[in-house]
């Protein structure tokens, strides 16, 4: 006999399964058509034809990078006619800030975001709720076209959620090869009242990471300035400036900039070298999860040991960290897990490049229930204000992508549910930028993101995204997965480095173990760097003449090192 308490628990679990499926966004994605019998008094539908857009509203006209906003599109119904399907076409004309190849540029483009189908019936109005995930900071004109009327436009600005040096940073440093360029590009974002003076730099300086030498930068070579709306009476200044660093010695530097308003600084943000090597090594670390609850491992101490090993035994040219670097961001008392992470990163002798995972967005550490947290402000403030960017090094192009937030995580299996969720995936804007800005198929390319693009089995959970690709999509990016795989096949991509699954797996684009380890592109999942105790490890990638010689998983223990 099943008790009443057990029945109530099962009903509650079913309620969670049905109601906590997270939003999905590919640029813009449809969510729900709301059928309306009550009409907003401000709507004037009499002059419109059925299927025309009569109103568009935004949950936030001044969103920040990496936080979805809700858009409601109201269409006129057809009370006296037949039902029909109406297609809403949505596009984005933008101008905004792009970081690639250690340069910062203000670029413009027009991107088709999506087509959204709405079933128009005999009710007075139909409201389509969609979500837009902004990936470019700057000015956007969103165009909506449906029915017989011309397209409607809405202007919206996307800002940074931190006032700081945007590039370079501790999580997105600039490695400058003085043999090719002597320019250091810097981007700064600062808010002000709309009537106040614009951003004014008083001093820019580099300080060696050992604190011995300081250099004032005053040889300005170029500058670009723009501003965007950040509120009704606020604006956000976006300044791109470059300095000639020909007189600065080779070395690893902290950067600081003083404006009339504040002083901004990033440690380990600039490395100046004399030439990029023909042969070099970089290391892939992932899923560090500093602050993880309910385990006996001190992830910060484990990461300290890993960094010590890298410094002493491998000496990589740089390190990439692919998300879930903290387990959750909420500060308890004075304890800040992002600050813990930063304290360890500054002990590394190599530059470190980061991209966010799903856990950097969590406010609390939750064991089984992943709620739709979107907040990346702590990641941006303590580590890296950018979500997506690209850089070139040693005749290779490296592209780091934000693979999104939790979207579907429930699966009906023997164990009832899994606790490793799928993610929203890549937006149409990201695919456009990958193809037109960040990518460089004249070089060997590597992609780094948190969630996999390929697996050996399909997702079966609630609200999963089915596709007809032969590879599996379990625990993978939900949207634009096939588009990413196609890009890798056609554009000289060798490695796609990911984490999330806490496992070591290697697949070809079909989701199979490759017969040839150099059957590019190779899709790699790497185990957690810190959660295995004495068996902590990461992937060591060795490059020669712009080609990949090896990408082995290595245990970062001294016993392992000396045994081999």
The yes-or-no verdict on residue 475 having pLDDT over 70 is: yes
pTM: 0.90
- Minimum mean pLDDT range among 235-249, 368-382, 520-534: 368-382
Residue 386 confidence (pLDDT): 98
CB atoms within 10 A of CB 296: 5
Tokens encoding 518 = 């150099």
Give the pLDDT mean for 399-416. 69
What is the chain's Cα-based Rg?
25
List residues bridging with 154 in a β-sheet. Answer: 142
- Span(s) in the chain for CATH 2.60.40.10: 22-158
Closest by Cα among 403, 390, 393, 262 to 318: 393
d(CA 60, CA 67): 10
Helix (H) or strand (E) holding 152: strand 152-158
Q: How confident is the model at residue 148 (pLDDT cuts 50, 70, 90)?
A: confident
Q: What is the β-pairing status of strands 28-36 and 279-285?
A: unpaired
CATH architecture of 22-158: Sandwich (2.60)
313: three-class secondary structure by DSSP? helix
The yes-or-no verdict on residue 23 having pLDDT over 70 is: no
**Could you tell me if 484 and 426 are in contact, meaning their C-beta atoms sit under 8 angstroms apart?**
yes
Residue 456 confidence (pLDDT): 93
The yes-or-no verdict on residue 218 having pLDDT over 80 is: yes
Residue 6 confidence (pLDDT): 52
The yes-or-no verdict on residue 45 having pLDDT over 90 is: no
CATH number at 164-179+275-563? 3.60.21.10
Residue 35 confidence (pLDDT): 55
d(CA 517, CA 539): 15
Q: How confident is the model at residue 363 (pLDDT cuts 50, 70, 90)?
A: confident
Residue 417 confidence (pLDDT): 44
Tokens encoding 204 = 């820019």
Closest by Cα among 185, 164, 169 to 384: 169
Half-sphere exposure of 237 (CA within 13 A, CB side): 22
Query: Could you tell me the CA-to-CA distances from 557 to 220, 308, 330, 536 in Å, in that order?
Result: 46, 10, 31, 7
List residues bridging with 172 in a β-sheet. Answer: none
**Could you tell me if 141 and 44 are in contact, meaning their C-beta atoms sit under 8 angstroms apart?**
no
d(CA 385, CA 187): 11
DSSP structure class, residue 232: S
Give the pLDDT mean for 95-120. 94
Give the pLDDT mean for 114-137. 93
**Could you tell me if 418 and 435 are in contact, meaning their C-beta atoms sit under 8 angstroms apart?**
no
Residue-wise DSSP of 255-269: EEEEESS-EEEEEEE
* pLDDT single digits (tens) 171-180: 999 999 999 9
The yes-or-no verdict on residue 31 having pLDDT over 90 is: no
**Could you tell me if 522 and 509 are in contact, meaning their C-beta atoms sit under 8 angstroms apart?**
no
Give the distance from CA 357 to its chain's centroid: 7
Closest by Cα among 56, 32, 44 to 146: 56
Counting every residue, how long is the chain? 564
Higher pLDDT, 370 or 60: 60
Query: Could you tell me the CA-to-CA distances from 372 to 199, 366, 404, 417 in Å, in that order?
Result: 35, 12, 11, 17
Residue 46 confidence (pLDDT): 60
**Could you tell me if 285 and 543 are in contact, meaning their C-beta atoms sit under 8 angstroms apart?**
no
* pLDDT single digits (tens) 428-459: 999 999 999 999 999 999 999 999 999 999 88
Residue 395 confidence (pLDDT): 94
In the CATH hierarchy, which top-level class contains the domain 180-274?
Answer: mainly beta
The phi and psi torsions of 301 (rounded to 5 degrees) equal -65, -40
d(CA 206, CA 88): 51
- Proportion of the chain above pLDDT 70, given as a percent: 85
Q: How confident is the model at residue 28 (pLDDT cuts 50, 70, 90)?
A: low
Q: How confident is the model at residue 48 (pLDDT cuts 50, 70, 90)?
A: confident
- Proportion of the chain above pLDDT 90, given as a percent: 73
d(CA 430, CA 408): 20
Distance spanning both ends of the chain, measured CA to CA:
60
The phi and psi torsions of 431 (rounded to 5 degrees) equal -65, -40
* pLDDT single digits (tens) 282-331: 999 999 999 887 778 889 999 999 999 999 999 999 999 999 999 888 77
Average pLDDT, the chain: 88
Residue 19 confidence (pLDDT): 40
d(CA 510, CA 266): 42
Give the pLDDT mean for 119-138. 94
To the nearest 5 percent, what fractions of the chain are helix, strand and coil?
15, 40, 45
**Could you tell me if 240 and 100 are in contact, meaning their C-beta atoms sit under 8 angstroms apart?**
no
């Amino acid at each position: 006999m099943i008790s009443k308490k057990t029945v109530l628990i099962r009903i509650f679990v079913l309620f969670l399964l049905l109601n906590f499926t997270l939003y999905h966004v590919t640029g813009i994605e449809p969510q729900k058509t709301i059928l309306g019998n009550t009409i907003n008094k401000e709507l004037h539908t009499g002059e419109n034809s059925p299927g025309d857009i009569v109103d568009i509203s935004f949950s936030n006209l001044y969103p920040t990078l990496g936080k979805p906003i809700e858009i409601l599109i109201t269409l006129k119904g057809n009370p006296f006619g037949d039902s029909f399907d109406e297609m809403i076409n949505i596009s984005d004309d933008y101008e905004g800030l792009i970081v690639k190849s250690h340069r910062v540029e203000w670029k413009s483009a027009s991107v088709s975001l999506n087509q959204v189908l709405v079933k128009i019936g005999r009710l007075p109005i139909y409201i389509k709720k969609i979500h837009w995930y902004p990936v470019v900071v700057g000015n956007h004109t969103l165009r909506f076209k449906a029915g017989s009327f011309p397209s409607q436009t809405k202007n919206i600005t996307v800002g940074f959620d931190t006032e700081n040096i945007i590039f370079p940073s501790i999580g997105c440093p600039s490695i400058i090869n003085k043999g090719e360029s002597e320019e250091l590009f810097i981007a700064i974002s600062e808010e002000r009242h709309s009537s106040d003076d614009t951003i004014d730099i008083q001093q820019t300086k580099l300080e060696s990471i050992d604190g011995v030498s300081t250099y004032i930068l005053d040889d300005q070579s170029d500058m670009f300035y723009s501003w965007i709306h950040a509120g009704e009476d606020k604006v956000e200044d976006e300044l791109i400036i470059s300095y000639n660093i020909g007189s600065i010695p080779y070395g690893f530097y902290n950067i600081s900039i003083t404006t009339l308003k504040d002083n901004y600084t990033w440690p380990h943000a600039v490395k100046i070298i004399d030439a990029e090597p023909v042969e070099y090594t970089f290391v892939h670390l992932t899923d560090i999860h500093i602050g993880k609850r309910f385990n006996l491992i001190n992830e910060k101490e484990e990461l300290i040991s890993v960094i010590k090993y890298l410094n002493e035994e491998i000496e990589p040219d740089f390190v990439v960290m692919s998300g879930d670097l903290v387990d959750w961001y909420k500060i308890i008392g004075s304890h800040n897990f992002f600050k813990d992470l930063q304290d360890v990163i500054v002990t590394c002798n190599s530059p470190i490049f980061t991209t966010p995972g799903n856990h950097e967005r969590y406010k609390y550490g939750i064991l089984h229930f992943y709620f739709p947290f979107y907040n990346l402000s702590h990641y941006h403030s303590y580590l890296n204000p950018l979500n997506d960017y690209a850089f070139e090094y040693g005749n290779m192009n490296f592209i780091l992508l934000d693979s999104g937030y939790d979207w579907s995580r429930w699966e009906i299996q023997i164990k009832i549910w899994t606790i490793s969720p799928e993610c929203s995936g890549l937006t149409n804007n990201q695919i456009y930028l990958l193809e037109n800005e960040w990518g460089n198929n004249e070089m060997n390319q590597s992609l780094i993101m948190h969630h996999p693009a390929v697996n050996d089995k399909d997702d079966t959970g609630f609200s999963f995204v089915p596709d007809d690709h032969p590879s599996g999509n379990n625990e993978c990016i939900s949207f634009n997965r096939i588009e990413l795989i196609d890009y890798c096949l056609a554009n000289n991509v060798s490695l796609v480095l990911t984490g999330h699954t806490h496992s070591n797996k290697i697949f070809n684009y079909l989701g199979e173990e490759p017969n040839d380890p150099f059957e590019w592109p190779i899709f790699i999942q790497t185990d957690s760097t810190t959660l295995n105790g004495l068996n902590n490890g990461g992937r060591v990638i060795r490059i020669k003449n712009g080609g990949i010689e090896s990408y082995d998983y290595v245990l970062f223990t001294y016993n392992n090192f000396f045994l081999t």
